[in-house]
Structure 1
Amino acid sequence: MDILDTPDAAPAIKNNPRTINGWAMFDWANSAFALVITVAIFPPYFLSVTNDVILIGSLEVSNSSLFAFAISAAYILIALVSPWLSGIADAGGRKMWFLKFFTTFGAVGCLSLLWFNGMSTLWVGTIGFIMAMIGFAGGLVFYNSYLPDIATEDMYDRVSARGFAFGYVGSVLLLIINLIMILKPQFFGLPAEDTLPARISFAMVGLWWIGFSQIPFRRLPKDQRRGSDKISTMAKQGYQEIKKVWKDLKHQQEVKRFLYSFFCYSMGVQTILYLASVFAEKELAFAAEELIYVVLILQIVAIGGAYLFALISEFRGNVFSLASMLIIWIAICLSAYFVEGKAEFYYIAGAVGLVMGGIQSLSRSTYSKLLPENTEDTTSYFSFYDVLEKVAIVSGTFIFGLAELITGNIRNSILVLGVFFLLSLVLLLRLKVRRPKRRVAKV
């Protein structure tokens, strides 16, 4: 038996509360990385323990640029290989195997950051961070593709929202524990003037990630192996699956309309999530502690936002709910352009949190509804969805930086993001999403 196989996985019974809660626990597990390492603690730590200018061969780059390049490298790599991997997963029936592989790969990357304490170990910090990013992004492809397997269409919005809610609660809980350890290391018997508390926090993310992932690993449907076990054969089959999905998408007008809109607003959403703290520090002189408060506001409000817009979609439909959020995103961009005080920015952060959880959750469930009925190769379809999001991240952050470089004002970059949201709204309003019959289901 393969070391990553799970012998006691639950059968694929849709709307099973135990299976759905197990699926949502994967969000609880991996969202700790998204919050603690990509947003709250690791970025300022990376800048604090490295030189302002780093020499790579004969090239001089700033430490912030190196950090950004590490993110881009991870996302570009996973965007290139995830369609191939997802096709293999569907062709060979190895969806769970890949979910476990990327989870383990990412958790090991987090654990390696325990040894990153300065310039002498810069290679450890950079490679470990890239590994964790690849593990996080790669695992999401397979995690998202389980949604049509475990829930009926009428439950997509609610189940998707539950996953995001679990993720926000779990990540905030671990972040609070990490912050106490960093701010009050004496409570844990740790030295006050040292990088050890922060480095232990990174290792805790890895343990949290791999530890809580054991729950979905045991409860989600196990792999149903089919075809050859040879990687070369599965790669060929996977490539054929990818070609088939690409061919099918050409004739699915509604799916294409959604993906166009999704790409445009993902450029705005993901760029804001990654660079909001940069804007706050540069334009409003936010201190590191204040930025952490902003992050906590985003996460906590996002829990309610995920459920609120899932509820709105049940009564008014997905298009209405998504369009409402896009209008709020446009208002956020306009408000950020004119914001002058810290108090105003906290309100904007609250608004971002409200629509951040909702738009990510509802995007996943809307895409699931648009897939052809009885689709078996869900992973291949979701790989397109995931690749678009990754390319959107690279495109959005690049255009954001380019706009600031050309105009000399980061506020103009915010307005450019507003244009992305406006374009996505126009595309979205042409979309028609079927309204599934509501069932009485407890999850």
Structure 2
Amino acid sequence: MADELSGGNAMSPGQKSGKRGIYGWMMFDWAAQPFFTVVTTFIFGPYFISRMASDPAAGQAAWGYGIAAGGFLIAVLSPVLGSIADQTGPRKPWIAFFAILKILALCGLWFAAPGSSLVAVVALFTLASVAAEFSIVFNDSMLLRIVPKSDIGRVSNLAWGMGYLGGMIVLIFIIACLAASPETGRTIIGMEPLFGLDPLQGEDARASGPISALWYAVFILPMFLFTPDAGGRRAMGTAVREGLAELKSTIGEVRQRAGIFRFLIARMIYQDGVNALLALGGGFAAAMFGWSITEIGIYGILLNIVAIFSCLYASRLDTRLGSKIVVLISIAMLLFATIGIVSTGPGFTLFGALAFGAADSGGLFGTAAEKAYILFGLFIGIAFGPVQASSRAYMARSVSEEEAGRFFGLYALAGRATSFLAPFMVATVTAASGSPRLGMATIILFFAAGLWILWTTPYPADRPDGKPATDLAV
């Protein structure tokens, strides 16, 4: 099975892939990103928050709790699966299994009509999120096997940029061909929605689930066909026992490798803020300004265009200056952007220090406050690709190929260990105060703390031979 999924090219340690294998690996991000772009952030999530729930505050709270539940499951199981994968060898069978779960859950979102059970819909979304993140653990752990360390930052950022391009293409398709105005019954380009979708029943937003599933099923195939997988295979029972034993040893080991431990703590905190901002930011804007699916989609397209070019630039910057500099700059920009969006509301920005009035010029984003929100959002677009792609490269440069699976499992744990905390805080503060703005403001704390810890973390976090890193320079 493993050889079939590897295209018959299992790899031995130290062997690197050719260009076709690298491009196949990069296509995973192209295939996976539409789920995060159109389901989590810009189409289905805002639809759920603003139209499925009784009011936006209740919708934001329910969506936040769903994200928190998924984050908890990912945090608990990612390091376990990473260690088991190191023992079984091949990663592709795991990716295939979780791909099936993700595809089925996404198709189920089609049935999320207004008035449907919020619990059932959140459960489907949570299952898709968990399956998506587990697939990413195994895909990320393949990076060291196929790319020389000198090229890791470049390839990682390019792959992330390809992902944003794929997500943007799907987003444009939904906005141009499916998302019709309830008033006119036509899309932004003046056509009737394909397949006769009814915007009053949210069918344009609900279709984002099956469309993302189809995109994923088709474009994940080059990775299976062309990217070589790890060789060797042990019986599952043996792999589970030895993987769990190795995980226990790894947790003890990472506490002795102070650089990696500090990096993982920093990532745990700032990635928590990234996850919450991406999952809740679109719904926050849609509820505050009353944006339609078309408007929130165009906002997403703008952010994705910026993200593509920022990843291309970061791929060179990472090679020249190192992953740490790229991550620090990105976190600082996300901190600034988050302060900006939570300080903006109808008629004002910067917590009212700059007042615009409520004049609406008509058309899309007709008020000055909306334009200010978009301006701050562009900083998110610039930063949220490089902060994740260069973090992946930071980790890959800090471990050896043989330990990649178990350490990328801990890396996923660090990205999700408290990932329920930021959405939980946003949801809880929102529910307690009745203010989505106050709830979103809690994300600022995560970026500030993560930035401070990473500033004092060595780069690479540890030498690949396991000895302490000595480069403490920023």
Query: TM-score, normalised to structure 2's length?
Result: 0.81
Q: Does 1:364 align with 2:392?
A: yes
Q: CA deviation at 1:416?
A: 4.0
Residue correspondence of structure 1 range 1-150 to structure 2 within 5 A: 1=1, 5-6=4-5, 8-12=7-11, 13-14=15-16, 16-46=18-48, 50=52, 52=54, 62-119=58-115, 125-150=121-146
Q: CA deviation at 1:389?
A: 1.2
- Confirm or deny: 8 A CA contact 1:107 1:135 kept in the other structure: no
Which whole-Å deviations, capped at 9, do the CAs of 1:162-203 have from their partners, x for residues lacking one?
111111011111121122123247353525455544444421
C-alpha distance 319-67 of structure 1, shift in aligned 2 (>3 A): closer
Q: CA deviation at 1:21?
A: 0.8
3-state SS of the aligned residue for 1:370? coil
Residue correspondence of structure 1 range 276-291 to structure 2 within 5 A: 276-291=281-296
Distance 1:406 1:112 in 2: 31
Distance 1:9 1:301 in 2: 38
Distance 2:430 2:197 in 1: 41
C-alpha distance 410-51 of structure 1, shift in aligned 2 (>3 A): closer
User: Which of 250, 253, 277 is the aligned partner of 1:248?
Assistant: 253
Distance 1:331 1:121 in 2: 37
C-alpha distance 337-382 of structure 1, shift in aligned 2 (>3 A): same
3-state SS of the aligned residue for 1:250? helix
Distance 1:128 1:300 in 2: 29
Q: CA deviation at 1:64?
A: 4.6
Distance 2:154 2:93 in 1: 26
- Confirm or deny: 8 A CA contact 1:113 1:124 kept in the other structure: no
- Confirm or deny: 8 A CA contact 1:11 1:220 kept in the other structure: no
Q: CA deviation at 1:33?
A: 0.9
For residue 425 of structure 2, what is the amino acid of its counterpart?
Answer: I
Q: Does 1:204 align with 2:211?
A: yes
Q: Could you list the runs of 5+ residues in structure 2 that have no partner in the other structure?
A: 181-186, 349-368, 464-474
User: Which of 368, 385, 403 is the aligned partner of 1:377?
Assistant: 403
Q: Which residue of 1 aligns with 2:148?
A: 152
How many residues of Structure 1 are paired with residues of Structure 2 in the alignment? 424
C-alpha distance 134-414 of structure 1, shift in aligned 2 (>3 A): closer
3-state SS of the aligned residue for 2:385? helix
- Confirm or deny: 8 A CA contact 1:9 1:220 kept in the other structure: no
Q: Which residue of 1 aligns with 2:449?
A: 423
Q: Does 1:190 align with 2:196?
A: yes
3-state SS of the aligned residue for 2:408? helix
- Confirm or deny: 8 A CA contact 2:51 2:114 kept in the other structure: yes
For residue 175 of structure 1, what is the amino acid of its counterpart?
Answer: L
For residue 411 of structure 2, what is the amino acid of its counterpart?
Answer: Y
User: Which of 327, 330, 336 is the aligned partner of 2:335?
Assistant: 330
Distance 2:372 2:430 in 1: 22
Q: Which residue of 1 aligns with 2:351?
A: none
For residue 86 of structure 1, what is the amino acid of its counterpart?
Answer: G
Q: Which residue of 2 aligns with 1:397?
A: 423
Identify the structure with the greater helix proportion: 1
3-state SS of the aligned residue for 2:382? helix
Which whole-Å deviations, capped at 9, do the CAs of 1:350-397 have from their partners, x for residues lacking one?
1110011110111110011111x3x41312111111122123321112
Distance 1:27 1:6 in 2: 18
Q: Which residue of 1 aligns with 2:371?
A: 343
Distance 1:75 1:415 in 2: 20
Which whole-Å deviations, capped at 9, do the CAs of 1:306-343 have from their partners, x for residues lacking one?
22223223222222222222222232233334332111
Distance 1:218 1:428 in 2: 38
Say which is worse superposed, 73-82 or 355-364, in terms of deviation.
73-82
Q: Could you list the runs of 5+ residues in structure 1 that have no partner in the other structure?
A: 54-60, 437-443
Q: Does 1:355 align with 2:398?
A: no
Q: Which residue of 2 aligns with 1:441?
A: none
Distance 1:342 1:290 in 2: 11
Distance 1:123 1:354 in 2: 34
- Confirm or deny: 8 A CA contact 2:43 2:293 kept in the other structure: no
Q: Does 1:320 align with 2:325?
A: yes
Q: CA deviation at 1:30?
A: 1.1
C-alpha distance 313-62 of structure 1, shift in aligned 2 (>3 A): closer
C-alpha distance 243-5 of structure 1, shift in aligned 2 (>3 A): farther
- Confirm or deny: 8 A CA contact 1:190 1:197 kept in the other structure: no
Distance 1:343 1:217 in 2: 43
Calculate the aligned-residue CA RMSD, in Å. 2.8
C-alpha distance 91-111 of structure 1, shift in aligned 2 (>3 A): same
Distance 2:179 2:58 in 1: 26
C-alpha distance 279-424 of structure 1, shift in aligned 2 (>3 A): same
Distance 2:338 2:458 in 1: 27
